[in-house]
Amino acid sequence: MIIPALQPSSSRLLLAALLLAGGALPTAVFAQAEPAPVEAKAADDQIGFAAAVVEYDSNSEVVTAKGDVVVNRDGYTLRADTVVWNRTSGEVTAEGNIRSVGPEGDVAYGDKIVVTDTLKDGIVENLLVVLADESRLAAKSGARKDGVYSLDYAAYTACKVEGTDGCPKKPSWEVKAVKVVYDPATKRVKYEGARIELFGLPIVPLPFLSHPVDTKAGSGFLVPSVGFSRNNGLEIEQSYYWRIAQNRDLTGAITAFSNAAPLGQVKFRSLEKTGAFEVTAYGTYSNRIDTSGAVIPTGSNVFRGYVEGAGRFQLDPYWSISASGRRASDRTFLRRYDISRDDRLRSTFAAERIDDNSYFSLSGWAVQTLRTGDKQGLAPIALPEIDYRRRLSDPLLGGNIQLQANSLAIGRTAGQDTQRAFGSVKWDLRKITKLGQEVTFTALARGDVYHSDENASTTTAIYRGDSGWQSRAIFAGAMDVKWPFVGKALGGTQIFTPRVQLVAAPSVTNLKIPNEDSRAVDLEDSNLFALNRFPGYDRFEDDYRITYGFDWTLRKTNFTADINIGQSYRLSNRQSIFPDGTGLSDKASDIVGRSEFRFKDIVKLTHRFRLDKDNLAVRRNEIDATIGSRGTYVQAGYLKLNRNIGPTVEDLSDREEIRLAGRVRVARYWSVFGSTIIDLTDTTEDPTTLSDGFDPIRHRLGVAYDDDCLSLSLTWRRDYQPTGDARRGNSFLFRLAFRNLGV
């Protein structure tokens, strides 16, 4: 059966209103070419007519309306070329360009329809029902009783049946059934003897199919997904969606594997007046391989699973609470079942208050490591972290004053424990001179108190600090000057902005303080002009320095370019606390910069770099590029860190990798896509690496089809990095999604 598109009527609109009721019409046959409107109070037994011509035969009690007829009763509307109403039998027969609209917004089209005078019940030939979400039901014949449609040998589709040029087109999928029942009140379609046809070919029998037809989700089975992986073999997932209430739902799924025990999944979501939360859990009962390589004996199955949840609630305009949690039963479960590739799971909670001039946070977090060789006892637990900030206006010199108080307690089950508290005052004043320079003055005063124990358990010596109580006072001042110059260049507008910054910070006690949050230090364009170029609070850059550089921007109609470059120079002979290789350990820093180019929405190129101050060797080379349109594009990323940092400093190891991804649209709805990640690190960059300089991490290649109502794809992926029972090998995933059917 071909589901037709709608054909617009070209007849001239000549409407007249006439209410027909018992005794309301004269007892003579008459024809009225241009009837005048008649107003009357609506009664339960009244039908409203509007037509070009209305004829009434008093002998047979038959009313005949012709020419753009509109009949109304109790929320039902019937339009046709001709409508005949037998007042004695109550039968209404309509022919020609029929359009029947129900109270729920469903529209039925047909060649001929016979209904009762309630307009609810009747029989239709060549029926087409256009639902509120623009999906369609078509049948050779059908009946409507109490507003419920029953169709014989019908077809349903959510696809458009008319192209952009107005010509009919065959839908990419249809559901055909022996019988279809549609209830506009519940907005649900039920089928008997149904099957899905994809591109005209029957593929899946669905004997008990039912689904909602409005924009709101309804309970029911979702479309199964099929895949194959090296770890688990053939896999088939069947999900069931349960809409508990308008603001809550639950999805349960069972995945069966040919080489592993079944995996269960439950996901619950809730949207409340003040916020929302969701919880997801996975579980199975199977053997596993430890990351050390030890195999649990056959038959010694254990429970394996993973749970995650997140939520946020806005209690009032100022206060909010949020939390997220992630926990896995073992280190390889997530990779084995392709749930996540994260190597650390972080759980958090926070209570925050934010207004125009203050911020308060009470938070905490914990980490579960999934890295091979890492000890869970060394993973930190922060409970609690308190941060308060208050912004004030300076009544004397102008500018803003920020007060901050912070406290943090970090514990480990088998490692160093650290507690920290500090208070600070920071003053900022921004001025614009008569010559156009932007001058910013900054002053900072801070006092810290630390306590730590079991410091020797920290592997990296420079992170330990001294055990017991430690304190320090920090003072710093800075002046930052920018001087923008604007002019014409290359058919556009350019802005050249030289920048100079002076920073003075007396010597402070750094190495006696434990370092928990200032470890991953690296000179970049983003922190070149920062007051403290260490991340976090545990290390502070105490020195006298000058930092200089420039920004250059070009703006044209379809093209923009942004370039910045800079360097710093220490003005004292004080020994630096920055590790070698960070670009900040000598008096003159390395040179850092960033370039970004955009052409329309087609090209975006970003390049970040760091050059050795002595020989201009590239210490950091990072390129990210996107070229193409939404349908056809290439994304490329390259990163090389060659900083010569010693292997004893964790979190700062050098590496080199390339990332490629792309999609090519080969037809209007068809595309080919792929991606790859390759580790290019060798022993010259990281002496501890086992890579030979070309070590693939993961490849992916697939083909996809996407139109207005169908999405399908076949993806091949190969993983090269085994971890425990997450083995290297090939995986295949077939995805099929129909609009309105379980999606």
Please state the domain extents for the chain.
17-216
Phi, psi of 374 (to 5 degrees): -75, 145
418-441 average pLDDT score: 95
Q: Above 60 in pLDDT, residue 38?
A: no
CB atoms within 10 A of CB 237: 17
Q: Above 80 in pLDDT, residue 629?
A: yes
230 CB-near residues (< 8 Å, 6+ apart):
719, 727, 728, 729, 730, 731
Q: Provide the residue type at 721 as one letter.
A: Q
Q: Residue 335: enclosing H or E segment and its boundaries?
A: helix 333-336
DSSP 632-695: SEEEEEEEEE-----TTSTT---EEEEEEEEEEE-SSSEEEEEEEEEE---TTT-TT----S-E
Three-state DSSP class for 586? coil
Find how far residue 127's CA is from the centre of its chain: 41
167-192 average pLDDT score: 84
**Model confidence over 278-310: pLDDT tens digits?**
999 999 998 776 655 455 555 567 899 999 999
Q: Which two tokens stand for residue 156?
A: 């349903």
DSSP 698-725: EEEEEEEEE-SSEEEEEEEEEE---BTT
Distance CA 248, CA 273 (A): 12
Question: In this predicted structure, what is the pLDDT of residue 1?
Answer: 53
Q: Which of 25-29, 62-66, 355-359 has the lowest mean pLDDT?
A: 25-29
Task: Please answer whether residues 48 and 71 qualify as being in contact, where contact means their C-beta atoms are separated by less than 8 angstroms.
Answer: yes
Question: CA dist 249 to 219, 246, 677, Å?
Answer: 9, 8, 37
Apex 662 CA angle, 661 and 667, nearest 5: 160
Distance CA 730, CA 700 (A): 10
**Model confidence over 675-687: pLDDT tens digits?**
999 988 877 766 6
- How buried is residue 416: exposed, middle or buried, by Cβ count under 10 Å (0-12/13-18/19+)? buried
Find how far residue 298's CA is from the centre of its chain: 41
CB atoms within 10 A of CB 610: 25
CATH of span 17-216: 2.60.450.10
**pTM confidence score:** 0.77
Task: Please answer whether residues 520 and 651 qualify as being in contact, where contact means their C-beta atoms are separated by less than 8 angstroms.
Answer: yes
Q: Which two tokens stand for residue 282?
A: 């996975």
Task: Find residue 641's DSSP bridge partners.
Answer: 620, 655
Question: In this predicted structure, what is the pLDDT of residue 460?
Answer: 85
Question: In this predicted structure, what is the pLDDT of residue 61?
Answer: 84
294 CB-near residues (< 8 Å, 6+ apart):
none
**Model confidence over 448-478: pLDDT tens digits?**
999 999 999 988 888 999 999 999 999 999 9
**Model confidence over 472-518: pLDDT tens digits?**
999 999 999 999 999 998 889 999 999 999 999 999 988 999 999 99
Distance CA 91, CA 612 (A): 92
Task: Find residue 709's DSSP bridge partners.
Answer: none
398-425 average pLDDT score: 95
